[in-house]
Every structure is written in structure tokens, then in C-alpha cells.
Chain A
Amino acid sequence: MTEYVMEAKNVYKSYCIKGEEKEESKLVEAVKDVSLQIRKGDIKLIFGPSGSGKSTFLRCMAMLDIPDKGEIYLGGECLTAKGVDLNRARARIGFVFQHIYLFRHLTALGNVELALRQVLKLPKAEARKRAMDALAEVKITECASKYPSQMSGGQAQRVGIARAIARNPDIILLDEPTSALDPELTGEVIDTLRDLAKEGTTMLIVSHEMPFAKEVAEEMIFYDEGHIVETGPPSLFFNAPNTDRAKQFMTRIINRTTRE
């Protein structure tokens, strides 16, 4: 039995961007030999320039994208091995999308309830109760009967988080949960994440919310051009990162934050 909740071992993933002409198509190596271990209760934060492959790596962790090479482990189980029931594995992983991706034809409650009914096969009343509990946890029960398009971005993303935590997953992966929101709406989502952090939820977060990172992350991971450049506690990055690239990036991002 392994000590890690989740582990990535030498993961590679590239994809092809199709251009108009054949010559314009190019191969993007989004994940090149990335390894990462997460223990129970860990909160790790991945950050780095946009287009560097952070999201692709996170999708590989959830097996929403299948890695070209390398292994992903959930508990002791190797998800990249042949014949693994990926649906059952994904049911134990919560995923929060940058662009939220709620089920548009279902209410907030319906969004949270669906997997409880269809995946966990809970009876109707119990599924409803657990879904309401999850909505209460992100403090959004007032939106239970609203459809995604009737909510603000911040509310919708909190429903997205409720949908991810309702099954009591072993880990929650969050892909830039605030970056598609208007600046004044990021606060409520950050508050929700802060609450989850206090409860000891295991999380791997792609984010550039630096004050939040400083507060909750045990480890920050600087990711650029498809691999992990530097890892360390927030204090390392906020004071003196070892690599020049991390230094430059931190300077840019801190200047931006203070200007706002």
C-alpha cells in the first residue's frame, strides 16, 4: 500500500494543433517527463505561464486526457495500466474546470445529484440530501433550483466545486478555478477553497492567485514548457526562487498583483 493519494510517474503528453495547411499543424509537447506525488491532506499549487501545459497535465492526472507515456496512480492502483475501469477511478477524483462546464440542462441541484444517482447509485432521497449538503458546504443552497445560465460565474463555479466534492473524492483537481471569472467574483470562489483547505481536503490546484497560494499551499510547483522547473514552499518563491525563470515569473506576477 502506497503512502500517496495520487502519483504521476514520468508522464508525457503531446497533442497536435491542426492548422489550415498541413505544414501549419504543429505538435505541442505539453507534458514532458513530469512526476509528482500527493499525500493525504496535501495542498499543492501549480503555476506558470499560460500555454505551458499545466491544464493538460491536470487532465492527465484525472485521465480525461490519456498520457502518451508514464504512469498515473490513484491510491495503489495504476490508472494507465490496461483494462482499468477508468469510470470507477474518475468517480474517486473531483475535477473543477476553468470554464466551469456545468450540465446546462440541469439545475444546480441536478448538476450535483446526477453522479450521486448514476455513479454511486444512491436512492433518490439520499442523493438529494447529499447534493444539498454539498451545496450548503459551498454556501450556495439559494441557487439549488437555478440553471447554470441564471447564475453568476462565481456562483456557477461554486456549484462546480460542489459537484466535485459531493462524492467525497480522494482528491480534488482544480484547473484555474478563478481565471475565467470577473475579478470581483474570484473572492467568493477563493473563500470556498479556503474552507475546503481548512477541512483538510487533498487538492492539486492550477492557479495564479498568489495571496491564496501563500496562505494555503504547502508546496508550490513552477511549471514551464511542459515540465516542472522548481518546487518549494511558498516562502521560497515569494523570497528568492532558485531558477531565473521562476524569479522572472514571480516578479511579473507580483507586480501585476500590487498594481491591481
Chain B
Amino acid sequence: MFEFLLDPRYYPDILQGLSLTIEITLFGVALGLLLGTLLAIGDIYGGKLVRGAIAVYVEFFRGSPLFVQLFIAVYTVPAILNMRIDHYVLAFLVFGLNSAGYQKGYIKGAMQTIFDDQMAAGLSVGMSKLQTLRYVIMPQAYRIVIPSWTNEFCSLTKSTSVLSFVGLLDLVGAGRTIIFGTMEVLPVWFIIGLIYLVWITGFSKLMDIIYEKKKIPGVELAMQS
């Protein structure tokens, strides 16, 4: 049943699949963080038009399946731009844009728990709004958001299984290849599932450690109140 584990021919597929899953997830969460922060700030400061546009953006990325978004990107964007774009790059962008839709909510929520008093305090010492965001609001908001990032990371990691639909070899794609070669179905998925589990558990533990290390007395109190 599990003889394929001893067959070195399949190792490169598994390794390549795992590294694609990890890369797309980490890049996606990072791009999502950057865009999510901009969206959160735009939602707080923007006028009606900006806030409306952000709402449409968020509803699109949260309300439609990731694999539909990926298909749209892969089959329309290169045609519209009339250029060849690597599926890998498109997948990274889609994951980032998708994650931004979720992260905007987490970041804005965290900012709002501390915003009024900390902004007033920042302005009162002569800092600009931008300086106060940079040195006071965001450092606290990001700390509060760490547990939500862990969730976001878990969910994106598992979502990478859609990558095989557009011809990218992620872990699920690797599993398919092995099944094709061995005709073992359940054992292969079992092992693939186990790899996800180990990686996600390990990374979540790492995030917990970072959260504890970065925790500032009083900052998480603000989240509860």
C-alpha cells in the first residue's frame, strides 16, 4: 500500500509540490497584508466612492470561489493584456488579491479597537496622521492581527489545491501523479493530507510563538474591551 513512499522516483514531485504550496501561500499572505493594510486605511479615511469600491472588491474576492478567480485570471488576463504571463505569477497575484479581501477586515477591525485614542495621542505630540499610523496604530494593530493571520495562512495553504486545475504542480498535483503511477488512491491522499497537517501545525506553532514574543502588555486588552 505505502510502497510508493520508498520509491525515490516520486520524491521530486512531492518536494516540488510542497515548495509550490509553501511559496504561493507565503507570498499570497504577504501581498495580502500589504494590500489589506492599504484597503483598511482607505476604508477608514476614504470618501464614499473609495469605500464603495473597496466594498465591491472585498465582496468579489470573499464571495466567489478562489478557483473561479484563478480561472478568470489565467484565461482572461493574458488575453486582455495580450502577453504571456506565467501561471505561477498569476496564481501568486490571485492568492494575494484574494487574501487582501479577508485581511482588510482583520486589519481594519484591529485598527478600530485602538484608533480614536491612539490617533488623538499621536496628533497631540505633533506627529502627522501618517506618522501616527506608522509608529503607533499599525505596530499595535499588526500584533492584534497575528492570530487571524494564522487562520488565513491555514486556509490559503489548503486552497493551493486549486493550483493543479491550471496546470501547476502543488501537493495535490503531486498526489495525482503518484496515483497515476501506483494506482494506490487512499494511501496517497492519506500521505498528502499528513504532509499538509505537519506543515500547517508546525507553522501555526511558530506563529503562536511569534505572537507570544511580540505581545505587549495591554495591547491585547484593548482588543477584548
Q: Which residues does A use to contact B, with CB under 8 Å?
A: 62, 64, 87-88, 90-95, 97, 99, 101-105, 114-115, 118-119, 147-150, 163-164, 167
Least CB separation from B120: chain A residue: A64
Least CB separation from B122: chain A residue: A103
Interface residues of B in 169-194 (CB under 8 A from A): none
Report the separation of the CA atoms of residues A119 and B114 in the bound assembly, to the nearest whole angstrom. Answer: 22
Report the separation of the CA atoms of residues A64 and B126 in the bound assembly, to the nearest whole angstrom. Answer: 11
Contact A90 B126 (CB under 8 A): yes
Contact A119 B124 (CB under 8 A): no
Name B126's contact: one of A97, A102, A150, A167 (CB within 8 Å).
A167
Name B121's contact: one of A87, A97, A118, A150 (CB within 8 Å).
A97
Least CB separation from A62: chain B residue: B124
Least CB separation from B124: chain A residue: A95
B123 at the interface (CB under 8 A from A): yes
Chain B residues, Cβ within 8 Å of A118: 127, 131, 135
Q: How far is the CB of A104 from chain B (nearest CB, A)?
A: 5
Report the separation of the CA atoms of residues A105 and B217 in the bound assembly, to the nearest whole angstrom. Answer: 8
Q: How far is the CB of B30 from chain A (nearest CB, A)?
A: 22
Contact A104 B120 (CB under 8 A): no
Report the separation of the CA atoms of residues A103 and B219 in the bound assembly, to the nearest whole angstrom. Answer: 9
Instruction: Given A101-B117, A119-B131, A150-B218, output 12 extra A-B contacts at Cβ < 8 Å.
Output: A64-B120, A90-B123, A93-B124, A95-B124, A97-B120, A104-B114, A104-B118, A104-B218, A104-B222, A114-B127, A115-B125, A164-B125
Contact B125 A102 (CB under 8 A): no
Secondary structure dominating the interface of B: helix
- Given A103-B136, A105-B219, A114-B135: A90 touches B125 (CB 8 Å cut-off): yes
11 pairs from A and B in contact (CB 8 Å cutoff) = A64-B123, A87-B127, A93-B124, A97-B120, A104-B222, A105-B143, A105-B219, A115-B127, A119-B126, A164-B124, A167-B125
Q: How far is the CB of A74 from chain B (nearest CB, A)?
A: 12
B140 at the interface (CB under 8 A from A): yes
Nearest 10 interchain pairs by C-beta: A91-B126, A149-B218, A115-B125, A95-B124, A101-B121, A119-B126, A149-B217, A105-B216, A104-B218, A101-B117
Chain A residues, Cβ within 8 Å of B46: none
Q: How far is the CB of B221 from chain A (nearest CB, A)?
A: 7
Report the separation of the CA atoms of residues A87 and B123 in the bound assembly, to the nearest whole angstrom. Answer: 7
- Given A104-B118, A105-B139: A64 touches B124 (CB 8 Å cut-off): yes
- B99-122 toward A: CB 8 Å interface, digit per residue (1/0)? 000000000000000100110111
- Given A104-B114, A104-B140: A115 touches B126 (CB 8 Å cut-off): yes
B155 at the interface (CB under 8 A from A): no
Q: How far is the CB of A226 from chain B (nearest CB, A)?
A: 21
Report the separation of the CA atoms of residues A164 and B126 in the bound assembly, to the nearest whole angstrom. Answer: 10
Chain A residues, Cβ within 8 Å of B139: 105
Report the separation of the CA atoms of residues A164 and B127 in the bound assembly, to the nearest whole angstrom. Answer: 13
- Given A104-B140, A148-B218: A87 touches B120 (CB 8 Å cut-off): no
Chain A residues, Cβ within 8 Å of B131: 118-119
Chain A residues, Cβ within 8 Å of B140: 104-105
B128 at the interface (CB under 8 A from A): yes
Contact B127 A99 (CB under 8 A): no
Interface residues of B in 34-83 (CB under 8 A from A): none
Contact A119 B120 (CB under 8 A): no
Report the separation of the CA atoms of residues A105 and B139 in the bound assembly, to the nearest whole angstrom. Answer: 8
Least CB separation from A86: chain B residue: B123
Report the separation of the CA atoms of residues A150 and B126 in the bound assembly, to the nearest whole angstrom. Answer: 26
Q: Which of A91, A115, A150, A167 gathers the greatest number of chain B CB atoms within 10 Å?
A: A115
- B134-166 toward A: CB 8 Å interface, digit per residue (1/0)? 011001100100000000000000000000000
Report the separation of the CA atoms of residues A113 and B148 in the bound assembly, to the nearest whole angstrom. Answer: 31
Chain A residues, Cβ within 8 Å of B121: 97, 101-103
Contact A104 B124 (CB under 8 A): no
Q: Which of B121, B124, B143 gathers the greatest number of chain A CB atoms within 10 Å?
A: B124
Report the separation of the CA atoms of residues A88 and B121 in the bound assembly, to the nearest whole angstrom. Answer: 15
Report the separation of the CA atoms of residues A99 and B124 in the bound assembly, to the nearest whole angstrom. Answer: 14
Name B128's contact: one of A87, A148, A167 (CB within 8 Å).
A87
Report the separation of the CA atoms of residues A97 and B123 in the bound assembly, to the nearest whole angstrom. Answer: 12
